[in-house]
Amino acid sequence: MGRAFSLADCEAVGFDLDHTLCRYRLRESSQELTPAIIRSRRSYDTKGYISGNVTFCVNSSFPLNLQLVYASFAQYMVTEKGYDKELLDVPLESWDFCCKGLVLDMEDGNFLKLAQDGTVLRASHGTKHMTSEEILEKYGRKEWRHFKTMNGMVSRSAKYYVYDNYFDLPGALLCARIVDSLNHNSASQKFNFWKDMVAAIQHNYKTSAFKENCGTYFPEVKRNPEKYVQSCPESVKKWLRKLKNSGKILLLITSSHSDYCRLLCEHILGNDFAELFDIVITNALKPGFFSQPPNQRPFRTLENDEEQETLLSLDKPGWYSQGNSSHLYDLLKKMTGKLEPKVVYFGDSMHSDIFSAHHYSNWETVLILEELRGDSIMAPSETEAEPLGKKGKYEGHHPKSLYAISKQWGSFFVDTVSAAEDAAETLVKTWSCKCVSAYSTITIPSIESIADLPLDYRFTRFSSKNSITAGYFPKPPRSLSIHQPMATK
């Protein structure tokens, strides 16, 4: 692959949906919303579910839909699995715990922030911050014991879980608070709650949940989609049409089921959204869509949002469910008449989207990383002085970031470490930062940031021959750019 990357060189352009094309609203007014994070003790009905009005525990900088995700998991854990009702009451300051890139060590109930070499930079037991001395005693200065497996992007493990996208973060906070609760109630507690968390996820997000109005999340979003979901900016809608009119094949590949996908797309793009996409694939169950062989992951047709017959191959564009990237690529060959059509995929999950599309399918990848906006803020005079062709453009007011740097966890990109006692601290890259440059072609804060650029704009890609900040657009993370060069450990 060459140094420069351009959409003009791609025959097909694919998109994830949640936190990629679809962006969720933040809390921006003082009015009360219902229901979401449960603040106060309410009366419980005969099944243990909260009755009466339920109020939001609103945080001004944390997305409402993610507060709702927390509520959907917490209510299930309390009412179905018997966990402490205090989990339903979330103090506002608790949201600071949420940080992408954390790893849950299930055996110990510890959350870890890792350096690119696998050593532990920061840690907490539950939500309780661990001191440098406690980290040194527990983990030493050596590679964390599961790092080799995790670094290979092994997705399923009974030993750890990596929180790499925004839908994950409420689960991280809930798990940490569960550890706190178990410690409070038992001094010698084994942390075997993960199976219950999996049950909570399956209950709220099974494929039939939207249709059955099951759980907490889907019923609320169906009642109030405008409360949670932002319409795509006009610049993004025009950009999608420009891609389509230029002859690009547009793909939508999401793990969401077709009914939820339809609700979101109609709200963000309009009722005619399907005209924009040549191929829509729902319930893709990424990363399996990219990693599993075709015989294990066949495509299914859809009728009234219900999966129908199994397909041995894809013969034409349309709307499908499940499937695999191999059969999709065969169809793209037929549609383009090329032996190796070039595909780029936009997504927000390092594991499910970026690594998988890059590693298994050799696609170009564009990572949507909201943290880049929060770590790249420049003075107004500096941004206004730059030409549009260099910096891209955000139309209207700048959307608030989903993410502000966590006081507990620090920067997503870097952290400091002492090589020895009394030694000066050294800045090192995090494991998450290493993955960004290793598996994404370029990284941007949002699609809106490139929507006004010409399609033949030449981006500098991540490469070992370029600087560590080369692939970030429109601005590199300030924490990286002002500290070059830095230790690689």
Domain total for the chain?
Answer: 2
Both tokens of 445, joined, read 């804060």
Give me the residue label for tokens 């420009």: 242
pLDDT higher than 70, residue 57: no
Q: Buried b vs exposed e over 234-258: b needs ≥16 C-beta within 10 Å?
A: ebbbebbeebbeeebbbbbbbbbbb
pLDDT for the residue numbered 419: 57
pTM over cut 0.85:
yes
Both tokens of 437, joined, read 């440059």
In the residue annotation, 18 being an active-site residue is answered as: yes
DSSP state letters, 230-279: PPPPHHHHHHHHHHHHTTPEEEEE-SS-HHHHHHHHHHHH-TTGGGG-SE
pLDDT for the residue numbered 49: 37
**Domain end point (choices 173, 194, 225):** 225
C-alpha count within 13 angstroms, C-beta hemisphere, residue 17:
27
| 221 and 313, same domain (yes or no) | no
Mean pLDDT of the chain: 85
Question: What order do you get walking across the sheet with 279-282 strand by strand?
Answer: 306-311, 299-303, 318-322, 279-282, 249-253, 12-15, 343-347, 364-368, 442-444
Average pLDDT (18-43) is 56
Going by pLDDT thresholds of 50, 70 and 90, the confidence category of residue 404 is low
The CA distance from 125 to 393, in Å, is: 41
In the residue annotation, 452 being an active-site residue is answered as: no
Cβ 302 vs Cβ 308: under 8 Å: yes
Output the domain CATH number for residue 486. 3.40.50.1000
The CA distance from 459 to 471, in Å, is: 8
Average pLDDT (228-235) is 95
| 200 and 239, same domain (yes or no) | no
| 294 and 389, same domain (yes or no) | yes
**Domain end point (choices 165, 195, 225):** 225
Going by pLDDT thresholds of 50, 70 and 90, the confidence category of residue 379 is very low
| 206 and 241, same domain (yes or no) | no
> Over the stretch 256-287, which tens digit does the pLDDT of each residue have?
999 999 999 999 999 999 999 999 999 999 99
Q: Of these residues, 18, 105, 164, 180, which one is catalytic?
A: 18
| 115 and 251, same domain (yes or no) | no
> Over the stretch 125-165, which tens digit does the pLDDT of each residue have?
999 999 999 999 999 999 999 999 999 887 678 899 999 99
pLDDT for the residue numbered 405: 79
Q: Of these residues, 16, 259, 278, 348, which one is catalytic?
A: 16
> Over the stretch 287-299, which tens digit does the pLDDT of each residue have?
999 999 999 999 9
Strands 279-282 and 318-322: parallel
pLDDT for the residue numbered 421: 58
